[in-house]
Amino acid sequence: MTNNKIEELCTLHTNLSEVDIEIIKSLAANLFLIADLNKANVFVDCLTKEGKHAIVVAEASPTTAKSIYSKPIVGKFAYDVFEPSVLSSLKTGKPIFLNRALTQEGRTVNQSVVPIKNNRDKVIGTLIMEKDISEQLKTQEKMEALSEATETLSEILVGITQNRPIIPEMLEESLFLIDDRGRIVYCNPSASNLIQETYADGHWVDRMLIEFFPEINSILEDPEDLLIKELTILNRFFQVKKIRLSMKESEYGFFVILKNITELREKERELIVKSVAIREIHHRVKNNLQTVASLLRLQMRRGLPEESKIHFEESLNRITSIAAVYEIILSNSTVDDVDLYQLIEKIGNELVKESGVDKNISLSYSGPNIQIKSNKAVTVALVVNELVQNCVKHAFKTIESGEIEVQLQQMDSQIIVQVIDNGEGYSPPSKSSLGLDIVRTLIEHDLSGQFKIHKAENGTVASVVFPI
């Protein structure tokens, strides 16, 4: 991987500075040593400009072990839904070790991720190590199934020889013992009931299993001694396990377990449908809010009395702040969580852009990425809108330039949002302020939190504290 390629990808797809890119390039020079030492594939991923996913800017395959990738993946994107550890480490700055993930080529791997930071302690990328565990998982699954089958078979044989009730009689799974010709030797009550649900006579003794369930013929004919597959049988979903049985070095037959997972698959389908429906609702809400905002802008362009204009602007800002919540929801992989830092940044930038104030006001943000539910996010959006708007309009009346900083913190089970300016300083209004009344009401009733605003040594500090 050449330094030119790394620089090209970082410049095109990320917001990294030249100094940060040099740090990435310096680390990438040692990737092959790291890969050989750990017998694993290693990568460097960086967050894209949009902040929604990451991009692979450097990689190294080990010469001391087989690579888990058949093709280079530099330049490919890593999405949150497949590699949540990467995105989480990029956003929180926390390392994650031995997390299970799905690679670009669909392999299951153990993935460890550590953040890469610059000299200002800011996360600029992640160093990722991946080891293939696909075969390990298959072996583990086979051993679990074989252990289960062996224990159950032992219980069956002991129960039959001692002529007493046996544990398989009480199991919900359908258990079949068939000989090497495929004829049923034994089945528990659950298996017998499954046959009787479809066939009136229900007689299974010395009959072929595939007479009742032809769908499992391919599993029985498969040469694998142990096989686990999911099949649709009788319009239902079943997990089917087959174990080949040998007694005294001769083939005896198979042990077959059918587990009905129809309810599980139906719930999964319902969740997918529900998720799509919720996302569509959010999309329509966002569009409706944007339509209302457009109508307000149209009315403002056609002319308004000067005393009404400020009220239209405030209403417009409140609407666009709520719309920002739904924009972020739709850009995420989850349908009910909002990144609070991303939301505050979006609202603040829009406010300064749309304020129309002829002053040099800069806005900065600090704090971790915190996920909150969408219903709380709407309230926080309105609160931040009012506080930043208040700073823009009132903090710099006699000052030509100023700074507003929005700080986000998480302490134990509380979230703290502070809006700090270096303006003229807060003075309690002579009459009630609608904006601050809105802030207090929203914080106390919707967030069960507290609000404080006071004059600082240089400017004003407004603090919001509410439980997660």
Last residue in a domain, options 260, 287, 306: 260
Together in a domain, 110 and 143: no
Stretch 15-31: mean pLDDT = 92
Nearest to 153 by CA among 108, 185, 117: 185
Stretch 98-103: mean pLDDT = 72
Tens of pLDDT, residues 256-268:
888 888 888 888 7
Confidence band (pLDDT; 50, 70, 90) for 117? very high
Q: Left, alpha or beta for 206 (phi > 0: left; psi -120 to 50: alpha)?
A: left
Together in a domain, 220 and 309: no
Of residues 157 and 245, more confidence is placed in 245
In this predicted structure, what is the pLDDT of residue 361?
79
Together in a domain, 269 and 380: yes
Tens of pLDDT, residues 214-273:
888 888 888 888 888 888 887 888 888 888 876 555 556 788 888 888 888 888 777 766
In this predicted structure, what is the pLDDT of residue 31?
92
Whether pLDDT at 111 is above 90: no
The CATH number of residue 197's host domain is 3.30.450.20
Confidence band (pLDDT; 50, 70, 90) for 167? very low
Together in a domain, 306 and 247: no
Together in a domain, 128 and 186: no
- What DSSP designation does 16 have? -
Containing 308, the helix (H) or strand (E) segment is: helix 306-331
In this predicted structure, what is the pLDDT of residue 304?
67
Of residues 202 and 242, more confidence is placed in 242
Query: Quick one: tokens of 274?
Result: 């529900």
72 C-beta neighbours (distance < 10 Å), count: 11
Together in a domain, 186 and 255: yes
Together in a domain, 102 and 181: no
Task: Provide the whole-model pTM.
Answer: 0.42
Window from 158-167, 208-217, 440-449 with minimum mean pLDDT: 158-167
Of residues 168 and 174, more confidence is placed in 174
In this predicted structure, what is the pLDDT of residue 55?
92
Of residues 451 and 316, more confidence is placed in 451
Domain that holds residue 236: 137-260
- In percent, the amount of the chain with pLDDT more than 90 equals 12
Of residues 420 and 288, more confidence is placed in 420
In this predicted structure, what is the pLDDT of residue 331?
58
In this predicted structure, what is the pLDDT of residue 116?
94
The CATH number of residue 9's host domain is 3.30.450.280
Own/partner pairs for 81-88, CB < 8 Å, 24+ apart? Answer: 81/333, 83/54, 83/111, 85/111, 85/113, 86/45, 86/54, 86/111, 86/113, 86/126, 86/128, 87/47, 87/53, 87/54, 88/113
In this predicted structure, what is the pLDDT of residue 431?
66
Last residue in a domain, options 222, 237, 260: 260
The CATH number of residue 426's host domain is 3.30.565.10
In this predicted structure, what is the pLDDT of residue 422?
85
In this predicted structure, what is the pLDDT of residue 165?
45
Together in a domain, 456 and 440: yes
Q: What is the mean pLDDT of the chain?
A: 78
Last residue in a domain, options 132, 157, 179: 132
How many angstroms separate the Cα of 231 from the Cα of each of 165, 244, 322, 328, 423? 31, 19, 46, 39, 69
Confidence band (pLDDT; 50, 70, 90) for 158? very low
Confidence band (pLDDT; 50, 70, 90) for 126? very high
Whether pLDDT at 27 is above 60: yes
Together in a domain, 185 and 320: no
Confidence band (pLDDT; 50, 70, 90) for 388? confident
Tens of pLDDT, residues 405-456:
888 888 888 888 888 888 888 777 766 677 778 788 888 888 888 888 888 8
Together in a domain, 245 and 119: no
Together in a domain, 183 and 97: no
Domain count, the chain: 3
Whether pLDDT at 69 is above 80: yes
Window from 90-99, 174-183, 263-272, 294-303 with minimum mean pLDDT: 294-303
- In percent, the amount of the chain with pLDDT more than 70 equals 75
Q: How many helices (H) and strands (E) would you count in the chain?
A: 13, 18
Together in a domain, 331 and 455: yes
